[in-house]
Every structure is written in C-alpha cells, then in structure tokens.
Chain A
C-alpha cells in the first residue's frame, strides 16, 4: 500500500470528483432507469420489452462486425507498408490518414450523403455516361461504408504505431534464419502486431455498434441500436426503455472487449522490447 501524502490526495481530488459526477453518476442513473417504470417503481418490464429489439441488436452487431473486419483487412497491409517507408514518407502518410479526422464526423457523413444519394455526385456522373442510377443511400452497404470511412484511421494508427516499433533487425534476423515473406508475417509480424490489432478492433467496433448518425444519414429506413435509443429518449421520452437499451448495449460492448482481450493472448506485459 503506497502511502499518499495529503498533498497527493488533494491533487487527485478534482479528477475523482469529475469521474464521480460525469462518469459514475450517469451510469447509476442509466441502471436506475433501466429497472424502474415511469412512476419510479422497480420493474423488469423494460428488460423484458427488449425482446422485441432482438433483431435490431443483431443487425447492429452484424453491420459493425462486417465494417470492422473490412477495416482491418484494409488497414493491416496499409499500416505495414507505411511502417517500412522512410521517416519523411511515414509522416506524410500519417498526415493524410489523419486529415479527415480534422473534420467533424457529422460533416464527413453528411458529405457522403451528397455523394451517394439518388441525384448525388456518383449518380450524376453515371447519368452522363448513360448508366442507370444506383440505389446507395438506404442500403446496408452504405451504412457499413460509412462506418469504415469514419473509423478507419482508428484502425490504421494503432496498428501502424505497433508495427513501427518492430525493429528492422528482427525481420532481418528472421530472414537470416530462413524465413521468406509469408513466414516472417506469420511468425513475427502478426504476433507482435496483435496489441495494435486488438486496440484498433475495439476502437472501430465500439463506435460502430453504437452509432445512430451514420445509420440515419446513410441508412434510410435501417434502424440500429443507436437509432432505437435516440428515438426512445428524444422522441418518445421513454427514458426507461431507452436506458434499458443503453444498458444492454454497454454490457455487450464490455463483453466483446473482454473477448478480444482473451483472443489477443497475454498482452499484459510489454512484449515489445
């Protein structure tokens, strides 16, 4: 047990206060509303009522999983190539990857609406070359695409930063001992980049599964969990059901994070020398 001086305790106090007010209290409120009805009596009806939302939960998970996996498949090779380039090139590439993040998510998504809609930029171009307009807005593809586009930097950057730490001499040693490209990837690069992959996976999956804006703007009638929660709270003023939905979503996210940590193996101690 570390002995903390009074001074140290005082310095920590503002953060503890902040955490209490803005993190813990809201969580308690969500839990409270989940298990009470509008009169404040304890009830399990909210939880039971979630049965009807089963499909929405499933679609949300499905879309965000697909989006995350595709994002991973694109980001992994990209991050690797980036990590092997020379310093100055890496910096430029990093800037380009991060550039979209300087814009607000709402604006980014809204722009894609302009591009993908019925008389948007793509369809106008297709009309010029005599092709029938494509239906893009309102499809699952558009929603998944929106997730990928918005969150891909969050996959590239953690993977890249982990890969950049892999010393070139390790890969040379692997080659020296007989590994060609694929063997190096399987035995050295993949295991050592896992912490980055787990990190990236989490940072894309979590916001994707809980989004409401992307599905509203690009998904037309498609409704995800985030939309359901927003509807309950904003339009229907049904705080109880909204809270229950939120609670289940939170549990879901925590479970998937725990699963991923397990899957990544013991990345607890620093395995990157």
Chain B
C-alpha cells in the first residue's frame, strides 16, 4: 500500500505583495520520482524550500510521514537537498564534504570511512577522496553533492535544478545516473526543473506549476497525451491549440468543420480548447485530408521536418519525416485519437498557433493568438 510521504496542504506564500504560492496542495508518494515542472517564477523552488524547511509558509501545513513539520528546522528533518550550485564546502576536500553529515552526527570514524567509500563507488568517484573541490569539474562536483546527501540515507532527496549547469551530453548521462540511483535506493526524489524533456524522461509523476498553482499532476504520458488546460498543452511538447466547440460527445468542431474525436463528457455546444500535436498530423495531397492549406515554412530538425501550414490564417505546425516545399498546397489528415479536447481555462486564447514560431517571441508579444473561429 503506497503511502504519501509528504503532504502539502493549502500552502500560501507571499513576498511583499507578490503571491508566490497560492493555496497549493499536493501529495508525494513514498519511493516515487516526482518532478516539479515550470518556468522561472512559478513557485517550484519555493515549494521545495518549504519541504526542506528553509522557508515557513505564511499559511498551510507540511506533513512528513504524517507528522506536522511546522517550525521544524532543516537540521531536524529527514530530508536532504542538492543545491543548484552544489554548495560544496570549500574548506574541505571530497572525503570531508561527503563525511560532513556523518561527523555532525558523531558517527564513529571507521563507519564514516566505510560509508564514504560506498558513496564514492556509487557516484563513480573512487580515488577522489583527497581531491580539493575547486579542482573538480562541474559534473564531479555534482556527484560529490549527491554523495554528500545520500550518505545520510534520507527518506526524501530534494534536487533543485541540479543539472542546469551541465552541458547537454553530461546532463543526459546524469539524468540516467540519477534515475538509476533512485531506483536502486528506493528513496523518494523530488526534482525541480524547467526542462520538460528532463521531467518527462525521469519522473514517475510530474507536477506542472505556473503562477504559484498546480496546473496538473500526472504521469509523463498522461500529462503529454491529456493536458488539462492550454498552459500545460503549450508547455509540454509542441501543440496546435485551437478554439472549438463540442457539438456532442465524440464530435468536435474547429477550423470550420466537424471532426470525430475520442473525448466525451462536455456540455452540448460547450466552447472548448482543442489540442492537436504536430507529430499526430499527416500531410497528404490537397483535398485528401480534412483541411486544406498552404505550406509557409519548412525547417529541418534532423529527426524530422517542422512544417508550418497556413489554414485560413491559423498557422499549424506539423512534424513529419517527409519533405515539402514552401508554397505547396497540401491537405491535413487528422485522426480521431490525435484530437484532444480540454475545458476552457484562464489560459485559453493565450497560446495557439505558430505565427510567430518562437517561444521567446510569443511571451514577448503577448498578443491574442491568431486563432481560427468558425
């Protein structure tokens, strides 16, 4: 029976007049790899620090193993943190850094030696005991930070964007290593990142956050295939988000025509947001698909082509391995299970098509997207 090792109930945090966390509640299961995902300022690091005990919420409670943690300082919590820039102690070498927590607990010397050795093996840093930490590479420093935290066998490990400072190849290697360590030790990992690929590849559960609120909690597959609102749909992967209406169960109306889909449970003629992932759309000959349009740009990404197709003013993005040419007239074939229907939310209308085709430009412009209404 899986129990919840951490529960957050109605946590609110304000800094001057800024609301950082807004009545946030969530649970973390024992032994899970959970990721808080969101862009800067969404409140994910703040939530982590509340769990660690570096910050007391203005209101709300934190429960660890069913015990209320109000007022309990970090050094009394069975939680350890990996800091974003590692925070290794510059006055100690690798051995002493890892041994720090054990020395504070007055663990006997022989046991310290043995445990530190085990950790060094676990993180592949055998032989590095006497090395001074200023002489370590970023990846090595990170592994020392991990060893230092794990040697204390915490029930929960908190990781605050630990891979942010590493280059791509190293980051992917570390993602695998972290995942393996977590599986091997069975410790609950709470991981914070803004990188959605990282979140999707490593986690058992993803908590998508924005503006101090939880937007959606679910497994990576669920979050990807069934985003709950336009924010999640846009943040995770690429999406075409359209304004539409549910004519009836399994019948969605958008882009000027009706489509068969797999979603039900909405009111008749209820306005909804429609999500179609670029990789789920096929480009066919004009007239042979559900919609017709013109190719406006083609970008080669190695893995696939990213093709922008203009349909009645709305710029769709399609990912396909077939090459097409700008100016070509094409058709789009959209299968029922490529269509995902979401309820309207405060994020409707904020994300939509690929007319500006750049994330930075989207947030800079903040213009109402060029959507298709019927």
Interface residues of A (CB under 8 A from B): 167, 169-170, 172-180, 183, 187-188, 191-192, 270-273
Contact = CB atoms under 8 A, between A and B. Distances in A.
A271 B83 contact: no
Contact of A177 (B84, B90, B101, B134): B101
A169 B54 CA distance: 10
B91 A192 contact: yes
Given A170-B89, A178-B101, A187-B103, 8 more contacts: A169-B84, A175-B54, A176-B149, A177-B149, A177-B152, A180-B73, A270-B134, A273-B88
B229 interface: no
Contacts, number: 67
Contact of B83 (A173, A178, A188, A270): A173
A172 B54 contact: yes
Contacts of B134: 270-271, 273
Contacts of A167: 87
Interface string B138-152: 000000000011001
A12 B85 CA distance: 42
A192 B87 CA distance: 14
Interface stretch (B6-14, B74-82, B278-286, B294-302): B74-82
B105 interface: yes
Contact of A187 (B52, B74, B83, B100): B100
Contact of B74 (A169, A175, A191, A272): A175
A176 B159 CA distance: 12
B90 A273 contact: yes
B75 A170 contact: no
A270 B133 CA distance: 12
Contacts of B54: 172, 175
Contacts of A175: 54, 73-75
Interface of B: 52, 54, 73-75, 79-81, 83-85, 87-91, 100-101, 103-105, 133-134, 148-149, 152
A173 B87 contact: yes
B91 A173 contact: no
Contact of B52 (A176, A179, A271, A272): A176
B104 A272 contact: no
B90 A272 contact: yes
Nearest to A170: B87
A187 B84 CA distance: 22
A192 B90 CA distance: 8
8 contacts: A172-B54, A172-B81, A176-B75, A179-B104, A187-B104, A188-B89, A272-B90, A273-B90
Contact of A172 (B74, B79, B90, B133): B74
Contacts of B104: 177-179, 183, 187
B92 to A, nearest CB: 8
Contacts of B89: 170, 173-174, 187-188
A179 B106 CA distance: 12
A192 B148 CA distance: 19
Contacts of B90: 170, 192, 271-273
A74 B209 CA distance: 47
In order of increasing CB-CB distance, the 9 nearest A-B pairs are A177-B101, A173-B87, A169-B87, A191-B91, A178-B104, A175-B74, A273-B90, A176-B81, A175-B75
A271 B89 CA distance: 10
Nearest to A173: B87
Contacts of B101: 177-178
A179 B92 CA distance: 15
A178 B53 CA distance: 12
Contacts of A176: 52, 74-75, 79-81, 149
